[in-house]
Structure 1
């Protein structure tokens, strides 16, 4: 059976990049027209009305990559805030800054840990690996692989209550979204027991609920293959391919 271009895109929404070294180069943020800025602000007002918990936090926005040197990824980036994701509905895909995010592959004896986005998150009901958007470093500090590991370790603690030293995380894979060029840096953590994971997440849920905030991941599960993840429900676009890559590696 032949596969059309659109079918292929749906089947493989991300591509793996052969990366052994990463270099980040900061650029000024993209210039918005007055109409675009007004629409971004209007859409943000709508988003806040629907979900008051949404935070217009700082983000690293991807502006493209250079792969001219084999094994070396040079990623261009700029400082933006969350509201600028509205550009995805205002511009053609090629003119939209891509998201830059980290995930953590956390092995247990029952499989890798995945979590479902809570109703108050940007992706409610979507199953993902623990992780989140990369935040810009403070002035004077570089955006580099150490910063990625720190972000990933922080997300692991915030979403699952599991604390792993960032130096124990290692880069497992880098993906690029075929539509917007979003960059995903997927890091592998040392294994933990499923009992520990469930206990820490339950403690986190109690603490966050007590604060009136609620957890970012309202349910966790363990998966050993992409089909298992598919059966859970809607998932992140990268999830099946990263799980297959992990299956092949272990």
Structure 2
């Protein structure tokens, strides 16, 4: 029997061995909320032209289905709907759903983090490699295997490191202060020199083609203190996740 999980007042990390995903219909957006949402979205786009109203997945519910088993109910929406989080009393707002990859370095067990470039929706923000989850194509399903493939693709696109989806282990589910839900996968240890080499090669290739890399810089963190020392804003889950990684001896 599933048990709804309360929304955390601070970042929470949920260990998970099994994750079941169920699709549900998106909630109706009342007319007044839609007007406010559209206005806030247009203001956000004016402030950051990199934003686009593409398809994306939102988390409608997260429930426990056993000691290490979770049920995640998701729905199809677009980036525009994220503006509802700033509409007071919104009844249609839903938390975002994203994937991340914890990439350890063989040398010292540190984790790779990256700072988003100016051409992204979150310029200057430090985070793990990853990104928002997009809805599956017609006839396909959204399950753990699909999330694993998406995470592997994000890792390659942002760091240049090609990792087979089967090498990524389901690790944690994070819940941010704003309710956002992240599915974190743990990658095999790689030498830090290799990670730097692949990132440098990716950056050079992207720049040569006139494109900005998604990450403008990478770093390796050993502790929450290292996270706090990064210059710039960090995603809220980063410090707690690094602490959990260090304490668990992963």
- TM value normalised by structure 2: 0.88
Report how far residue 180 of structure 1 moved: 3.5
| Residues 69/249 of structure 1: CA separation in 2 closer, same or farther (3 Å cut) | closer
Indicate if the aligned counterparts of 2:16 and 2:69 stay in contact, CA closer than 8 A.
yes
Indicate if the aligned counterparts of 2:135 and 2:142 stay in contact, CA closer than 8 A.
yes
Structure-2 residue corresponding to 1:158: 157
Q: Any stretches of 5+ residues in structure 2 without a counterpart? A: 1-7
- Distance in 1 between the 2:66 and 2:223 partners? 33
- TM value normalised by structure 1: 0.88
Indicate if the aligned counterparts of 1:54 and 1:120 stay in contact, CA closer than 8 A.
no
2:23 to 21, 26, 29: 26
For 1:124, what is the secondary structure of its paired residue?
Answer: coil
- Distance in 2 between the 1:181 and 1:124 partners? 21
Indicate if the aligned counterparts of 1:118 and 1:124 stay in contact, CA closer than 8 A.
yes
Report how far residue 95 of structure 1 moved: 5.5
Tell me how many residue pairs correspond in the alignment.
Answer: 239
Report the aligned-residue RMSD.
Answer: 1.9
Structure-2 residue corresponding to 1:137: 136
Report how far residue 92 of structure 1 moved: 3.6
Q: Deviations over 1:119-173 (max 9, x none)?
A: 2222221111111111111122111110111110010011111110011000111
For 1:98, what is the secondary structure of its paired residue?
Answer: coil
The structure where helix makes up a greater share of residues is 1
Q: How does 1:227-238 map onto structure 2 within 5 Å?
A: 227-233=225-231, 234-238=233-237
| Residues 48/213 of structure 1: CA separation in 2 closer, same or farther (3 Å cut) | farther
| Residues 161/227 of structure 1: CA separation in 2 closer, same or farther (3 Å cut) | same
Report how far residue 230 of structure 1 moved: 0.8
Q: Deviations over 1:100-134 (max 9, x none)?
A: 11111111125210001112222221111111111
Structure-2 residue corresponding to 1:52: 49
Structure-1 residue corresponding to 2:103: 106
